[in-house]
Structure 1
Amino acid sequence: MKKEKSKVFWPICEEWIDENEKTWSVYYARQVRAYMERYVRDGALGAMPVNAIETPDIVAVLKGVAVRTKAVGEERKKTGSPTIAILLRMWISSVFSHAMLDGRAKFNPIVGIKAAKIIKRQPVKNNLALSEAEFKKLLTALPGYGGNRVTKIMIELLALFFVRTGELRQADWKEFDLEARQWIIPAARMKMKNAGDHVVPLSDHAIALLKELRAITGTPLAKTGKDWLFRNTRRPAECMSATTVNRALENMGFNGPETLGFSAHGFRGTASTRLHERGFKPEWIETQLAHQQGNAVAAVYNKYRYVEERTAMMNAWSDYVEALKLDIKADSGEPATA
Structure 2
Amino acid sequence: MTKTNSPFTAKSVEAIKATAKRQEIPDPGLRGFYLIVQPLPGGAKSWAVRYKGKPKYTIGSAAIWTLADARKEAGRIMRAYDEGRDPRAAKKEAASDDNLVENVLGEFVKRHVKIKNRASTAREQQRFIDNELLPRWKGRPINAIAKRDIVKMLNEIVDRGAPQSALRVKALVSKFFAWCVGTDRLDASPCTGIEPPAVITKRKRVLSPEEIRLVWKGAEIIGWPFGPLTQLLLLTGQRREEVGGASWAEFDLNAKEPVWTVPEQRAKNGNANVVALAPAALAILASLPRIAGKSDLVLTTNGEKSISGYSRGKRRLDEAMLAVARKEACERGDDPNKVAIPEWTLHDLRRTLATLGGDIGILPHTIEAILNHARVGISAHYNHARYEAEKRTSLIKWARHIETIIASEPGLNVVPLKKIPQGMLAGER
TM-score, normalization: structure 1? 0.69
Q: Please state whether the residue corresponding to 1:156 is helix, strand or coil.
A: helix
Residues in 1 aligned to 2:187 and 2:267: alpha-carbon distance in whole angstroms: 43
Asked if residue 230 in structure 1 is aligned to residue 230 in structure 2, the reply is no
> Which residue pairs with 2:136 in the alignment?
39
Q: Work out the percentage of aligned pairs sharing the same amino acid.
A: 19
Q: Which residue of 2 aligns with 1:207?
A: 282
> Structure 1 residue 188 and structure 2 residue 188: aligned?
no
What SS is found at the alignment partner of 1:292? Answer: coil
Establish whether residue 17 from structure 1 lines up as the match of residue 105 from structure 2. yes
Contact 2:102 2:134 in 1 (8 A): no
Aligned CA distance change for structure 1 residues 264 and 110 (closer, same or farther; 3 Å): closer
Counterpart of 2:242? 167
Partner in structure 1 of residue 224 of structure 2:
149
The residue correspondences of 1:87-106 to structure 2 (distance < 5 A) are 89-90=173-174, 93-94=177-178, 97=181, 101=184
Paired letter, 2:105: I
Cα distance in 2, alignment partners of residues 78 and 95 from structure 1: 29
Residue 152 (structure 2) aligns with: 61
Contact map agreement 1:202 1:311 (CA 8 A) in 2? yes
Aligned to 1:309: 390
- The yes-or-no answer on 1:284 pairing with 2:359 is no
Write the letter of the residue equivalent to 1:240: I
Residue deviations 1:152-186 (CA, integer Å, cap 9, x gap):
11111111111111221121111212232222222
3-state SS of 2:265 partner: helix
Residue aligning to 1:120: 198
Asked if structure 2 preserves the Cα contact closer than 8 Å seen for 1:280 and 1:313, the reply is yes
Partner in structure 2 of residue 197 of structure 1: 272
Contact 1:54 1:109 in 2 (8 A): yes
**Cα root mean square deviation, aligned:** 4.0
Task: Decide whether aligned partners of structure 1 residues 33 and 95 sit closer, same or farther in structure 2, where only a CA change above 3 A counts.
Answer: farther
Cα separation, partners in 2 of 1:236 and 1:130, compared to 1, 3 Å? same
Question: Cα deviations across residues 202-248 of structure 1 (Å, max 9, x unaligned)?
Answer: 122211111111xx123353xxxx611111x3x53221127255444
SS in 2 for 1:65: helix
Distance in 1 (alpha carbons) for counterparts of 2:273 and 2:142? 51
- How many residue pairs match? The answer is 291
Residue 240 (1) aligns with residue 313 (2): no
| Larger RCO: 1 or 2 (CA < 8 Å, sep 6+) | 1
Supply the AA of the counterpart residue of 2:402. V
The one-letter code matched in structure 2 to 1:236 is: G
1:330 CA displacement: 11
Partner of 2:117: none
3-state DSSP class of the match of 2:177?
Answer: helix
Q: State yes or no: 1:140 paired with 2:217.
A: yes
Establish whether residue 323 from structure 1 lines up as the match of residue 400 from structure 2: no
Q: CA deviation at 1:262?
A: 1.4
Kept in 1: contact 2:260–2:276 (CA 8 A): yes
Which amino acid is 2:367 matched to?
I
Contact 2:100–2:138 (8 Å) recurs in 1: no
Question: Does the 8 Å contact 1:162/1:271 carry over to 2?
Answer: yes
Deviation for aligned residue 1:58: 4.5
CA distance in 2, matches of 1:329, 1:49: 57
Alpha-carbon separation, structure 2, partners of 1:319 and 1:49: 57
Deviates more, 1:28-37 or 1:197-206: 28-37
| 1:157 and 1:206 in contact (8 A); partners too | yes
- Which has more radius of gyration? 2
CA distance in 2, matches of 1:64, 1:9: 30
SS class of match (1:200): strand
Consecutive unaligned residues of structure 2, counting only runs of 5 or more, are 1-88, 115-121, 323-339, 413-429
The TM-score with structure 2 as length reference comes to: 0.56
Deviations 1:128-171 (A, max 9, x none): 21112222232333333xx3423211111111111111221121
| Partner Cα distance (2:390, 2:103) in 1 | 56
Give 1:282 shift.
Answer: 2.0
Shift in Å, 1:250:
4.0
The answer (yes or no) to whether the contact 1:170–1:228 under 8 Å persists in 2 is yes
Distance, in Å, in 2 between the alignment partners of 1:218 and 1:49 is 44
Aligned counterpart in structure 2 of residue 219 of structure 1, from 286, 292, 298: 292
How far did 1:106 drift?
5.1
CA distance in 1, matches of 2:299, 2:383: 29
Gaps of 5+ in 1: 69-76, 332-338
Helix, strand or coil at the partner of 1:149: coil
Relative to structure 1, the CA distance from residue 179 to residue 277 in structure 2 (aligned partners, 3 Å threshold; closer, same or farther) is same
2:345 is paired with a residue whose SS is coil
